[in-house]
Amino acid sequence: MKKIVAFIFLVVFTISLKAQLPLIPKPNSIKPSVGYFVINKSTGLFSDKVASFEMKYLNDELFLRTGIKLHSSNSKSNSIKLIIHKNVDSLSDLYHLEVSKNGITISANNNAGVFYGIQTLLQLINFDKKQSLKIQYVEIDDTPRYSWRGMHLDVSRHFFPKNFIKKYIDCIAMYKMNVFHWHLTDDQGWRIEIKKYPKLTEVGAWRKGSMVGAYSEQKFDTFQYGGFYTQDDIREIVNYATLRHVTIVPEIEMPGHSLAALSAYPEFSCSGKPVNVGVSWGVENNVYCPSDETFKFLENVLSEVMELFPSKYIHIGGDEVPKNEWVISPLCKDVIRRENLKDEHELQSYFIKRIEKFVNSKGRQIIGWDEILEGGLAPNAAVMSWRGIEGGIAAAKQKHNVVMTPGGYCYFDHYQGNPQNEPLAIGGYTTVEKTYSYEPTPDTLTVDESKYILGAQGNVWTEYISTTKHLEYMSVPRMTALAEVLWSKKEQRNYTDFVSRLTLHFKLLDSLKINYSKSIYELTTKSIANENNNGLKLVITTPFDTTAIRYTTDGSVPNFKSLKYVKPLIINESKMVKAAYFENGKMKGNPVERKFNLSLSTGKKIELVNQPSEYYKGNGAFTLVDGVNGDPLKHGFNWLGWSGRNMDAVIDLGKTESFSEINLTAVNKPESWIYLPKQILVYISNDGVDFIKVATQSEEVIQKSNGKIKIGCGNIQSRYVKVVAECLGKIAEGMPGAGENAWLFIDEISINK
C-alpha cells in the first residue's frame, strides 16, 4: 500500500513539475525541483546596498499583490536576498534566481539583472491568490538576447496623461523590455514644453478638431483637443523609467511631420505662411525649411530635449517628408547649389547630417526612420526599419546600428483579430501569433552584420486610439509576444507553449487593471481547395483544444451545443459559417464569421505572375478565389497586397465555362498609400498558353467604383482566365506617399455567368 501511495505521489509530482511556470518572456534555463517555499510575514528581505531601489520595489509590489510587507533581515533561512556580484562584467543583464527551502536568492551582475530577477519572481507568485505565496523550488538562469527591447507610443495624435505613461512603463518593465520610444511631436500636436519656444505648447499642443471615424469618411469634430508634458513631468517620468531600467528615447520629428511646430513658428517653413495644427491624419506637405534659422531653432529645441533625456539615442524622425515645398523654394535651390547636392532627396540627407553633427557634438547619437537612408546615411546614425526590413538590412550592411520595427509584425495599431470584431484601426492585420513569429535578425545578414541589429520595437500610433483602455487593448498582449521574441532564445520559441503561459498571465493583467485583448482565442480559418478543385474546404484551427470548436451554418451565433468541428467543412454553396472556441462551455474570444459567395472561380487553380508582398500575402494566391470577400475598409486581412507591381493572375476553371462578368475588389486608402488600379485587363485562353484580350476596365470607371469593380465581358466561353490589375506605380506629387511605390490591394476574383 505504501508503495502505491509513494508511486502516486511521484507521478503527481512529476506531472506538476512539468506544468508550465507562468513566465513571459520564457527564461533561458528553468530547473524546477520538488518542494515549495512559502513567503509569510516573518520572511526577511535583504539586499546589497546598491540594490536599495530594487529592494523597495520588490517590497512595494509584493505588498500591492499579496498584502504582505516584508521586514529587512539577513537571516540564513526564510529570506529573500538580492545580491549584486562584484568585479564581474556589469554590462551583462543576466540574473540567477533560486527558490529553495531556505528562501529565495536573486543574484546578478548589476541592478538591471536584479530587477529582471524580481520580475520573474513576481510572475511566479502572482497568479492565483490562494496559492500566491507558495513558490515551487526552482533554479533559473536567464539573460536577454537583444539589447533593444522597445515599445513606442505616439502621444501626438492622442495625448495620454502622465500617470498613464508610468503605467505603460510599468508594463514595459514587467516584460523585461528596456526602451520606451516616446513620439512627442507630430503634425497633430507638440507635446513637450520647450522653455525657449513657449508657443510650441501654447499654440502647437492644441488642435481645433479631430478626425472622426475612418479616414475615407473625412468627418471631423470641432472640439479643441490637446495637452502636453511640462519639463517637470518629463523629469519625473524619466526618473521613474530609469529606476525601472527603461531608457526613454524621445522623438522630435523633422523635417516632416512638423505642422504643429510650424503652426507656432511658421517662419521655419519655406512659405512662412500661417498654418494650423493638423486635424486630419496622414502626411502633411508643410515641412521645415532647411534655413540656418530653422537649424538654430531645432538645435535649441534639441538642447533642451537632451538636458531632459539622458538617453544615448535621440530620435529625429526623418520619415515621410513630401518635397513639394522644397521643390518650389528658392532657399532650397540655394542650399542644393551651395552644398553641391543632386536633388531634394540629398537635401533631406543634408538636413539629417547637419542635425546629427549637432547631436554628436553633445555626445549623443541620432536614430531615425529608414527614410534617412535615402540620399546617404548620416555617418553615425542608427536606423529604425519600419517600411519592411530592407532599410534595416541596408543599414546593417553599412555597419550602422538598426532597430527593427517592420509594420507587418511590429505595428500594434494594426488589427489584431478579425476586423469585424475589432474597434476601427488604421488597417493591417498583425495577430499575436504573427508578432510572435517575428525574427529580428534577417537571415540574409552575415554573423558580423547581424551584430548591428540591436533588437526590435512595437510601435503604437494613435490616430485611431483615443483612450487609455483602447491603447492597452492594442498593446497587450502583442507586446508580451515581442518581449519574448527579444529576450528568449530563438530555439525555445513555440507559439502553443507561449499562449498557454499567456492565458495564465491574464489573471495578473486583470489584477493590474490592464485592458488586454483576448484575440488569441479567436479561431484561425483557412480555405483550401476541395478535391478536384470542386468547391472549398474550410479548415479551422486554434492553438488550444481543437475539440472545443463549435460552429453554425445558419447565421446564428454558435453556442456549446452547436455543431462540433471534427474535420474541415465542405463548402459547395454560398453560406455563412460562424465558429468559436469554448472553455468549460463558455465562448472564449469572439466568434469568427466567414461569408462564402461561390462563383465559377471559387476554389479553382490560380497562379500569380508577381508574388504579393511578404507582409500582405494572405493565404497565397488562393486568397483571391477562397469564396470570401475582404472588407475594403479593413485591408490586411484576406487581401493580397503588392507594392509597385501589378496583380497578374491566371485562373484555371478546370473546364470550358460560359461567363459574362468578372468582379473583383480593390482597396482605396490613399492615406495608407493604397491606390486603386490604373486599369484592369481580362484575357482568355483555352490552352493556358496563348491568351487573347477580351475586356478592359478603364481608370475612370475604376475611380467611380469605390473599389467594387465589375468588368463586363460579353458572352465568353473559356477555360483559362487571366486578370491583370495594373498598379498605379509611383505615387504622384501632392498625394500621400508621393514618390513612393503605390500599394495595390486586391481580393476575390469572382467569375460569374
Positions that interact with ligand ACM (CB under 6 A): 319-320, 369, 386
C-alpha cell at 474: 492594442
Closest contact distance (angstroms) between CB of 413 and ligand ACM is 9
Closest contact distance (angstroms) between CB of 217 and ligand ACM is 22
Q: What is the signed CA dihedral for 87, 89, 94, 98, rounded to 10 degrees?
A: -20
How far apart are the C-alpha atoms of 559 and 185, rounded to whole Å?
48
Which residues are tagged catalytic? 186, 257, 320
Nearer to ligand ACM by Cβ, of 266 and 282: the residue is: 282
Closest contact distance (angstroms) between CB of 486 and ligand ACM is 19
Nearer to ligand ACM by Cβ, of 193 and 320: the residue is: 320
Q: In angstroms, what CA-CA distances link 312 with 22, 294, 465?
A: 34, 24, 30
Question: 386: buried, middle or exposed (CB in 10 Å: 19+, 13-18, 0-12)?
Answer: buried
Closest contact distance (angstroms) between CB of 161 and ligand ACM is 24
Nearer to ligand ACM by Cβ, of 281 and 309: the residue is: 281
Element (H, E) at 62: helix 52-66
Return the SS3 of 276: coil
How far apart are the C-alpha atoms of 350 and 321, rounded to whole Å?
13
Q: What is the signed CA dihedral for 466, 467, 468, 474, rounded to 10 degrees?
A: -60
Closest contact distance (angstroms) between CB of 671 and ligand ACM is 11
Closest contact distance (angstroms) between CB of 482 and ligand ACM is 16
How far apart are the C-alpha atoms of 36 and 496, rounded to whole Å?
27
In 109-210, beta strands by DSSP E: 134-142, 148-154, 179-183, 185-186, 189-190, 206-207
Terminal CA-CA length for the chain: 77
Nearer to ligand ACM by Cβ, of 386 and 691: the residue is: 386
C-alpha cell at 412: 500594434
Question: 685: buried, middle or exposed (CB in 10 Å: 19+, 13-18, 0-12)?
Answer: middle
Closest contact distance (angstroms) between CB of 348 and ligand ACM is 15
Nearer to ligand ACM by Cβ, of 369 and 581: the residue is: 369
Residue-wise burial string across 155-188, b where 16 or more C-beta atoms lie within 10 A, e elsewhere? bbbbbbeeebbebbbbbbbbbbbbbbbbbbbbbb
Nearer to ligand ACM by Cβ, of 48 and 319: the residue is: 319
Closest contact distance (angstroms) between CB of 259 and ligand ACM is 14
The answer to whether 262 touches 289, Cβ cutoff 8 Å, is no
Nearer to ligand ACM by Cβ, of 383 and 709: the residue is: 383
How far apart are the C-alpha atoms of 708 and 224, rounded to whole Å?
37
How far apart are the C-alpha atoms of 288 and 199, rounded to whole Å?
16
Rg (CA), the chain: 28
Closest contact distance (angstroms) between CB of 408 and ligand ACM is 12
Nearer to ligand ACM by Cβ, of 108 and 403: the residue is: 403
Nearer to ligand ACM by Cβ, of 61 and 320: the residue is: 320
Nearer to ligand ACM by Cβ, of 197 and 369: the residue is: 369
Nearer to ligand ACM by Cβ, of 80 and 474: the residue is: 474
In 615-705, beta strands by DSSP E: 640-643, 647-666, 680-685, 692-697
Closest contact distance (angstroms) between CB of 371 and ligand ACM is 8
CB-closest chain residue to ligand ACM = 319
Q: In angstroms, what CA-CA distances link 444 with 398, 399, 402, 441?
A: 14, 14, 15, 9
Closest contact distance (angstroms) between CB of 407 and ligand ACM is 7
Nearer to ligand ACM by Cβ, of 589 and 641: the residue is: 641
Give residue for cell 546578478: 108
Closest contact distance (angstroms) between CB of 288 and ligand ACM is 16
How far apart are the C-alpha atoms of 578 and 542, rounded to whole Å?
15
Identify any residues that bridge with 353 across adjacent strands, giving them in sequence order: none
Give residue for cell 515641412: 287
Nearer to ligand ACM by Cβ, of 369 and 565: the residue is: 369
What residues have CB less than 8 Å from 279, skipping those under 6 apart?
Answer: 188, 207, 208, 209, 210, 211, 220
Count how many Cα atoms sit within 13 Å of the Cα of residue 314 in the half-sphere of its side chain. 29
Q: Please, what sign has the CA dihedral across residues 650, 654, 659, 663?
A: negative
Taking the CB of residue 21, how many other CB atoms lie within 10 A of it?
18
How far apart are the C-alpha atoms of 302 and 197, rounded to whole Å?
12
How far apart are the C-alpha atoms of 702 and 709, rounded to whole Å?
6
**What's the angle, vertex CA 522, arms to CA 516 and CA 524, rounded to 5?**
140
Secondary-structure breakdown of the chain: helix, strand, coil percentages, each rounded to the nearest 5: 30, 30, 40
Q: Which of 367, 423, 702 is nearest to 590 (CA)?
A: 423
Element (H, E) at 315: strand 313-317
In this structure, which amino acid lies at residue 75? S
Closest contact distance (angstroms) between CB of 186 and ligand ACM is 9
